[in-house]
Structure 1
């Protein structure tokens, strides 16, 4: 999972040049940010609500703050480095220090990455998740969504009674994913194209046009959310059907970008699973609105989901969201054991949402076995900072059956298990139906 470099790399690069002519970059450039101290601490859940960064652990949170945190379980103070921005790196971490490592707190490493260097090249692996220490602090409420003043009452996010009848067709999954990952030519906007990758601007544009075409054919209202993040611009695709109660909506999400490869599993599978659930529920009577969001630039640091969650918060719309079911890689099960993740990290009431997926899988007798994991490395985590129940549903990525083609050129459809993908998609669809249907 590729992570963007902190915007301060540009300032650092400029300082390197400026230093040839000035004894002090800060003195020579009045706009240069003074070096500041950053405190990285392991704290109890939701005890720190003003922070630069906040990442989940199973029983706490790792926060980066400007001021020291009283009562922290573990804490370290570090000076920012102009020529090597600090990043929080999520494990599993090796016993030996990572390149540029400055400290370890709560299972995370704090790593200084030289300006201009690709983070994963610097770390020597694309399997690490990292995010740069933010430049500005944000303040959020400590109350979980649904307990905040003015928030609408929520339906309990677990499946009660008999599982709804949701039909997911493995043939549909295979056909659509073949189109999205370049295995099959597809007609988009009246011309035949091959979507070979979804990392470039042109590849992502083709994917968006394909997504709009697919969702509009199912009768969903489709719009785009364009955002800027630093030097980067991206576009999220939103497809929606309103429910009888306009004050509540369930979000199903996945990311449509890839690391400039076919991205069949990561995360074409999640996108197509979402599309199959939309197809299964397109005519169902909805009590709660159903919104499908295809996030851009997840591979660049969860940029699309962070921008979208921030926009909902700014517009006062996050109180409407009863939960987020994020589908992150749903098609790989090489050993046939049916293991999967519903990742909640005990953040706010996300465990209840994870339980709805597990209950759906059991009620529908799908032969799936939930395996515990905790991570911040997908789009679900963007909603945790705002107290929204959110889970990442994924194949057994963190167990002993991770896809060896993760972020590689070989991430193509010929490695996927269509029956497993059908069953995992159905579990999420049944969970969603149990929340949104009349």
Structure 2
């Protein structure tokens, strides 16, 4: 591994980084192909439009590129390793180096993970988000660099006096989430089953059948988006309700897989919040389309959302997306303080979408208080990669009230605050209605 560092530090610091990351060329195989060099750089927002990876920070972006980046705040050049793969890792990071760490750029780490090892196992925690260096570049068109914010339907000013209203049924939330997380049996294909987990292929397949039944009962058109990511295969589920303008669509999303547990909070709560909003809008006349997407394999590195966003980009359909409201854990509030996140990281116009969510929560008098957080570790970030406005709406995960059963067997419905889930779902439902209903 050989590295160079270009930043605003002294020459001595640059040499220290070089000494830390470099290895002797004398031990290399003279006949082996030359290792490819990549550049990991911390840059200003939207200053680099061609990249392999792009992750948000509060002030800028960490980009991975094949070419060196001029005027980067910080940049490290790394060579690929033959027996491992490089990943960009989001923390919070410890003071000490992570296993296989090669550099830190913009508050993120670059880690070499041995071939065949799972990132979570190698890093020793599920609280890290590890994104492998992509094989193909994204080239953002000028139209998707700081594109205009999604306007409310019909050109109405956001949250005017005639703003749309919907009602979220608390009993509906509880009944459906108990089914999805194994606390109550469900009937699938004429037989009674219990959805004990959504990590295995069979568990995820049963969850997809359940989703199809739920959305078809609402009159939505349900489709499956099958994809392959490396050795992995997965299936996203989409449910559409058309609007008067077929060229525009709002995406409401959550991930339906779990870490081989009941996954009541992560992310059964987000899935059921999405379903409850769709239920509340099932008879409404929409001016633009509503698409609810249940992503697969979020727990394996956002594989489902990355594949879906890539497909939309390649098909030219991403331009139709006015925004993405991703619901990532909506049911835990142990101290009943009503704190929640609308995560936007100042990416493109996502902050304006976040402001609409916050305004809807305030307008609804829901007793919710927004707390700041910035992360790339949920499905909203897959859309940031392509310049689309997206936010993650979540409980106070990064504050002082994280669910102690996160990624554990005890992530069951008895941990949840049903009234808080209703109120947070209502906030997202209100902004969805404002964007959708003429």
In 1, the alpha carbon distance for the partners of 2:318 and 2:62 equals 23
**1:182 maps onto 2:221 in alignment:** no
Q: What SS does the corresponding residue of 1:378 show, helix, strand or coil?
A: coil
Call closer, same or farther: CA 1:92–1:244 in 2, change over 3 Å: same
Provide the residue aligned with 1:57 in structure 2. Answer: 57
Report the more deviating stretch, 263-272 or 50-59: 50-59
Q: Secondary structure at the match of 2:84?
A: coil
SS in 2 for 1:299: helix
CA RMSD of the aligned region, Å?
1.8
Q: Distance in 1 between matches of 2:427 and 2:155?
A: 19
Q: CA deviation at 1:24?
A: 5.0
Match of 2:237, SS state, is strand
Contact 1:87–1:113 at 8 Å: present in 2 too? yes
Q: CA offsets per residue over residues 164-214 of structure 1, 9 Å max, x none?
A: 321111111111011001111100111111111111110000000000000
Does the aligned pair in 1 maintain the 2:332–2:420 contact within 8 Å?
Answer: yes
Task: Tell me, yes or no, if the aligned pair for 2:147 and 2:348 is still in contact at 8 Å.
Answer: no
**Aligned twin of 1:298:** 298
* Separation of aligned partners in 2, 1:77 and 1:128: 23
Q: Is the 8 A contact 1:86 1:112 kept in 2?
A: yes
The 2-side partners of 1:281 and 1:116 are apart by 45
CA distance in 2, matches of 1:244, 1:204: 33
Q: Is the 8 A contact 1:251 1:291 kept in 2?
A: yes
Residues 143-182 of structure 1 aligned to structure 2 (within 5 Å): 143-144=143-144, 147=147, 158-161=158-161, 163-182=163-182
Counterpart position of 1:357? 357
Matches for 1:78-157 after TM superposition, within 5 Å: 78-144=78-144, 147=147
Q: Map of 1:302-317 to 2, 5 A cutoff?
A: 302-317=302-317
Which 10-residue stretch deviates more, 288-297 or 157-166?
A: 157-166
Q: Tell me if the contact between 2:180 and 2:264 (Cα under 8 Å) persists in the aligned partners.
A: yes
Separation of aligned partners in 1, 2:159 and 2:101: 44
Q: Distance in 1 between matches of 2:95 and 2:351?
A: 30
Structure 2 gap ranges (5+): 1-27
Q: 1:15 — aligned with what? A: none
Structure 1: runs of 5 or more not aligned: 1-22, 28-32
Q: 1:141 to 1:154 in 2, by over 3 A?
A: farther
Matched residue, 2:341: 341
Q: Deviations over 1:78-119 (max 9, x none)?
A: 111111211101121111111111111001011111222221
| Deviation for aligned residue 1:316 | 1.1
| Whole-angstrom CA distance in 1 between matches of 2:47 and 2:220 | 40
User: Does 1:323 pair with 2:340?
Assistant: no
For residues 156 and 67 of structure 2, the distance between their equivalents in structure 1, rounded to whole angstroms, comes to: 38
Structure 2 residue 264 is the aligned partner of structure 1 residue 277: no
Distance 1:122 1:97 in 2: 13
Asked if 2 retains the 8 angstrom alpha-carbon contact of 1:45 and 1:347, the reply is yes
Q: Is the 8 A contact 2:53 2:385 kept in 1?
A: no
Please say if 1:253 is aligned against 2:273. Answer: no
Decide whether aligned partners of structure 1 residues 83 and 243 sit closer, same or farther in structure 2, where only a CA change above 3 A counts: same
- Once the two structures are superposed, what CA deviation does each residue of 1:400-424 show, in whole Å capped at 9, x if it has no partner? 1111111111111110000000000
Per-residue deviation, 1:25: 10
Q: Distance in 1 between matches of 2:353 and 2:170?
A: 25
Indicate the residue corresponding to 1:385 in structure 2. 385
